[in-house]
Amino acid sequence: MNTAIQVLQALRDGQFHSGTGLGRELGISRAAVWKAVHKLQSEWALQIDAVSGRGYRLAESIGLLDAGRIRQASGLGPQLAALEILLATDSTNRRLLQAAAAGASSGTVILAEHQSAGRGRRGRRWESPFGRNLYLSLLWEFEAAASRLAGLSLAVAIAVVRALEAAGLSGLGLKWPNDVWWQERKLAGILLEMRGEVSGPWQVAIGIGLNVNMCGIGMDPAWVDVQTIQGAPADRDLLAGRLLAELFAVLARFQHDGLTPLLPEWRARDVSRNRPVALQFPDRTLHGVARGINGDGALLLESDGIVKPWHAGEVSLRHERGI
Ligand code: BTN
């Protein structure tokens, strides 16, 4: 087991532990204990008091995700093929794709308390502090050819919004293709990664990062979390369960009927419609006015009086601060 996790487990009782005592208990040097504490503080954003003569103490209680409670809250039966909670990993999407290659079934879920290399869209990094948010990946298998999956990421965004609304949140918006927004700030992001043959079947790792209880710690002003919106800390198990319930329902519908039945819900939450936007590609940026989405989920961009559909690119609204 990773040394940082071992030290964290020893500190979970909230009591002071001396460096020497921890070292003896874990069979490591005092310097290794110090290094692990430093990692927990700096990389995992955990608050640990270090008091000379007394040692180290976890300054906050951490409620970890509970697979039983999540399953119960989801109301799902055997279709939730497997549910694994990792204390730390590099990326739940990467782990899930690895599991898929080794034969994991559709409906397998991996959650983590911390990701050291969380993946965001367009090669960005997804910041993943320990124990505060949800980092969830769900494996889903589609028989269809890749072209039939065009609107999938928009469908997933609908599931996320439904779960958050079921938890009592309101005023949520969607920024194409799948960012969940609240009052012009980003609440959740979605990253789909696929493996398969052009003609199918496809295995898709549906990765969702949802900011839950960041308590403002290290948070960019362009981001928001569930706690800020509802004014109280949120129960992450309940949220994860609701998320899974809505994901399974939306994915089953999408598999059968495509994006069409979900379009009205997406359009009703479109935050960029009729606003000036920039559509960014690695090599160029297009400017225009967003005119909603077409039936395949492509962004309609009006430029020089002509409206064209775009299936890729990153939308930013004029005032946006680097999301
Ligand atoms: C975005 O850039 O908006 C998408 C972010 C997706 C982050 C999630 S967290 C769980 C899953 N595992 C990853 O490495 N990334 C996704």
Tokens found for residue 268: 């009703």
DSSP 270: B
* Tally of CB atoms within 10 A around 23: 18
Does residue 110 have its Cβ closer than 6 Å to ligand 1? no
Peptide bond into 201 cis (omega under 30): yes
The answer to whether residue 14 scores a pLDDT higher than 80 is: yes
Q: How far is CA 201 from the centre of its chain?
A: 25
pLDDT at 319: 58
Residue nearest (by alpha carbon) to ligand 1 atom 15: 119
The answer to whether residue 321 scores a pLDDT higher than 60 is: no
- Catalytic, 318? Answer yes
- Catalytic, 186? Answer yes
Closest ligand 1 atom, CA of 136? Answer: 10
The answer to whether residue 310 scores a pLDDT higher than 90 is: yes
pLDDT at 143: 87
Q: Of 118 and 321, which is predicted with more confidence? A: 118
Q: How far is CA 84 from the centre of its chain?
A: 15
Closest ligand 1 atom, CA of 179? Answer: 3
Q: Which of 84, 111, 119 to mutate to test the pocket of ligand 1 (most atoms within 8 A of CB)?
A: 119
pTM over cut 0.75 = yes
Residue 297 near residue 259, CB atoms below 8 Å: yes
Provide the 3-class DSSP secondary structure of residue 95.
helix
Catalytic residue, candidates 94, 132, 186, 242: 186
Distance (angstroms) between ligand 1 centre and the Cα of 62 equals 22
pLDDT at 23: 93
Q: How far apart are CA 240 and CA 245, in angstroms?
A: 9
Q: How far apart are CA 9 and CA 254, in angstroms?
A: 41
- Catalytic, 121? Answer yes
Distance (angstroms) between ligand 1 centre and the Cα of 25 equals 36
pLDDT at 217: 66
Distance (angstroms) between ligand 1 centre and the Cα of 170 equals 23
pLDDT at 191: 97
